[in-house]
């Protein structure tokens, strides 16, 4: 996981007015568009979690995504884990 944002990440808060943001996969060696998400928030890093199924409501971290400028609007780049774990994800 990254502790500080790299040069290609931004805190520019410009989300597409449609409510959908592009999702790029960076788990592989190249960044490519894999779908869209309705996740739009004022944080630059999102930790993806999965419920463990225990009665206490616990969960485990399964990945991380960061906000990146994708053209004129923000998108998400999944750095670790499965991009399908993002809330409101719609695959291509």
Please list the pLDDT of the chain residue by residue as tens digits (92 residues). 334 444 455 545 689 999 999 999 986 656 789 999 999 988 889 999 988 888 888 989 999 999 988 788 999 999 999 899 999 999 99
How far is the C-alpha of 67 from the C-alpha of 14, rounded, in Å? 10
Give the position of tokens 């695959």. Answer: 91
Domain residue spans of the chain: 21-91
Res 21: pLDDT: 94
45, burial (CB in 10 Å: exposed 0-12, middle 13-18, buried 19+): middle
Angstrom distance (rounded) from CA 74 to CA 15:
5
Q: How many Cβ atoms from other residues are within 10 Å of residue 67's Cβ?
A: 25
Q: pTM here? A: 0.77
């Amino acid at each position: 996981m990254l502790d500080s944002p790299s040069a290609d990440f931004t805190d520019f808060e410009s989300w597409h007015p449609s409510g959908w943001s592009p999702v790029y996969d960076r788990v592989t060696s190249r960044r490519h568009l894999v779908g869209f998400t309705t996740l739009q928030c004022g944080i630059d890093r999102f930790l993806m979690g999965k419920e463990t199924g225990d009665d206490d409501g616990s969960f485990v971290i399964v990945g991380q995504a960061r906000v990146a400028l994708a053209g004129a609007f923000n998108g998400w780049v999944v750095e670790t884990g499965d991009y399908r774990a993002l809330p409101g994800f719609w695959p291509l």
